Amino acid sequence: MTVAGLDNDKAAAGAKPDAGGDSRSPARRAFDRFMRNKSAVAGLIIIGLMTVTSIFVPILSPKDIQTVSWEYVLSPPSLETGYWFGTDVNGRDLFVRTFYAGRISLAIGLLATAIAFMIGVIYGSISGYFGGALDSFMMRVCDVLYALPTLFFIIILVTVLGAKNIFIVFMCIGAVEWLTMARIVRGQTLSVKQKEYVEAAKAIGLPTSKILARYIVPNVTSAVIVYVTLLIPVNILIESYLSFLGLGVQEPLTSWGLLISQGSVEMENAPWLLFFPALFLTVTLFAFNFIGDGLRDALDPKDR
């Protein structure tokens, strides 16, 4: 074989990736695994469509959520009348109200989860980083709160603080749903604080607040991403329970839980009042769970 031919063979070998290697970054590999999960991608598309329609349908529709049509009271779904989902006992368009309710329910689920995320990450990272007596005390507080029924505790908070303000609702939900997240973050912090870069930061005298903000928190939040995704539908469902009991979102606002509560009263005479809000709530819960399962599989260290 000539020298030129040998050089060409080397170049060709160098241009071809190693059969056992993977030049993609970990983030790219995780993204590709997620995109190969058809149910997760379908869930992401559903949530995207649900979010966009919930935002724009109430804006673009000529009917308001409080527009009353007395001639169409408890009218069944019909394309001829223009009430695609029918009307309620006050002649209000259920189509617009369902999507407006989706805006409220999704917002409460996301904001309550954000509050739980912030409390859980801060609480868990502090507990795991300092350890010792402080860690034991903080975990015992979690144990005491765990002993209380979650929904019962939320009902007490909402009753005491009042449910007329929507911000009170998601603050009460988020203030209770952070316990598991704090435990996950604490466990990750106990591992991360032993790393060389954290020890180096301590050695150069970096303040504890900067160590937590720069090295601990960014490296433990990835562990709770999947749990955050699964917590969103839980919080939406909790809000639905509260609204069904009359302790959540109140008129003139509405949510899927409130619509389901109102529809259950007229279930025999007007089943569409219960069917459509329950359908949208169920589809949303399944979609978020599919996304969470997809993220769990994509971020599984065993697949990396």
The pLDDT tens digits of the residues spanning 234-248 come to 888 888 888 877 777
Q: Which residues of 284-297 are buried (b: 16+ CB within 10 A; e: fewer)?
A: bbebbbbbbbbbbb
The number of domains in the chain is 1
142, part of any domain = yes
What's the CA gap between 23 and 7, in Å, rounded? Answer: 23
Residue 162's pLDDT is what?
64
3-state helix, strand, coil in the chain (%, to 5): 75, 0, 25
- Whether 74 contacts 85, CB under 8 Å: no
Q: Let me know if residue 161 belongs to a domain.
A: yes
Contacts of residue 40, defined as CB under 8 A and 6 or more positions apart, other chains included, come to 34, 290, 291, 293, 294, 295, 297, 298
Specify the pLDDT at position 287: 92
- Which pLDDT does position 137 carry in this prediction? 93
pLDDT at position 164 is: 61
Q: At what angle do helices 94-130 and 256-265 cross, to 10 degrees?
A: 130
Could you tell me the CATH number of the domain that includes residue 141? Answer: 1.10.3720.10
Query: What pLDDT is recorded for position 2?
Result: 43
Residue stretches of the chain with pLDDT short of 70: 1-22, 26, 162-165, 300-304
The whole-model pTM stands at 0.78
Give the pLDDT score at 9.
Answer: 46
Name the residue range of residue 141's domain.
Answer: 37-303
pLDDT the model gives residue 12: 44
Burial of 101 (0-12, 13-18, 19+ CB in 10 A): buried
**14 within a domain of the structure (yes/no):** no
